[in-house]
Amino acid sequence: MVTGKSIKFTYTKKDVILYNLGLGAKRTDLSLVFEDSPSFEVLPSFGVITYNDGSLSQRLAPLLPNFSYKRLLHGEQYLEIRKFPIPVSGALVSYPAGIELIDKGKAAVVVTAFRTVDASTGEDIFYNEQTVFVRGSGGFGGASKGRDRGPATAANQPPPRAPDASIIEKTSEDQAAIYRLSGDYNPLHIDPETARAGGFDRPILHGLCVFGIAAKHVYSTYGPFRNIKVRFAGITIPGQTLKTEMWKAGATVIFQTTVVETGKLAIAAAAVELIGEPARL
């Protein structure tokens, strides 16, 4: 399974502002872009960047036959926020641990957990489960189906009624160029030649950027949440418009995010569990 050395991550208020800008924060959003604002805060989805040290390929290559980073797709993401309010600066350490290695015949599915703690106190800050789909790396004789892991694997189907809330936000054509400065330097998101080699007409927006925008929509509508899970269902091109639709039932908000220009889903099977709300009946 996927294991490895601990991953160190140090950040300041400047890094928080840069991340918030990468998710579309405006100059008027003082709580997100002005470090001396009394309400200055870290958006909850910040937890997904704390363990990204670029070592994923080195972790996966020894485990899978015919591994190629170019055939890797980010399938799902689950994040728990274990400390509120999230510190606006600090030194963190993440510990990776393998959860599942699934054989889909022509592909492999790898699920890795990352527990992120305060480097000085050991206090839990974030917990992530990252699911990646690797085309061409199946057939190694492993289990063909993953296990139920509660909210991390929930189907989260929207109910058959109109959403309780929705937010529409147009992304910037420069969105990926800003977001990548928070640590995801995959050239697929900035270099046209790399994008064409990957089968795309132009660079695409980071899936975790779309995740962060959708999480921001839910957070601004319903407030803090203790966990969030999404499935990456399609691509977004910088400059396109995202629409997040939300359905609330007790402590749970199911949501999905669509690219308005194409009508296709970008985020599906998604939900958060709110803090301070009664459980869903």
Annotated catalytic residue, options 22, 24, 207, 212: 207
Average pLDDT, rounded, for the chain: 91
**CATH code: domain of residue 192:** 3.10.129.10
Annotated catalytic residue, options 204, 228, 237, 254: 204
Q: Are residues 42 and 131 in the same domain?
A: yes
Annotated catalytic residue, options 7, 47, 184, 212: 184
Q: Are residues 75 and 190 in the same domain?
A: no
Q: Are residues 15 and 119 in the same domain?
A: yes
73 compared with 1, residue with greater pLDDT: 73
Annotated catalytic residue, options 24, 75, 102, 189: 189
- Give residue for tokens 């749970």: 252
- Total domain count for the chain? 2
Q: Are residues 134 and 220 in the same domain?
A: no
Instruction: Tell me which residue range forms the domain holding 175.
Output: 165-274
238 within 8 A of 187, measured Cβ to Cβ: no
Task: Answer whether residue 146 is part of any domain.
Answer: no
**Is the peptide bond between 85 and the residue preceding it cis, with omega within 30 degrees of 0?**
yes
67 compared with 149, residue with greater pLDDT: 149
Reported as a single tens digit per residue, the pLDDT across 113-164 is 999 999 999 999 999 999 988 877 777 776 777 888 999 999 999 999 999 9
Q: Are residues 120 and 185 in the same domain?
A: no
Q: Are residues 52 and 17 in the same domain?
A: yes
Is 207 in the active site?
yes
Model confidence, pTM: 0.93
**Whole-number percent of the chain with pLDDT over 90:** 75
Is 184 in the active site?
yes
Task: Answer whether residue 145 is part of any domain.
Answer: no
**Any residues with CB less than 8 A from the CB of 31 and at least 6 apart, and which?**
37, 39, 40, 41
pLDDT at res. 83: 96
Q: Are residues 35 and 133 in the same domain?
A: yes
Is 204 in the active site?
yes
Q: Are residues 133 and 40 in the same domain?
A: yes
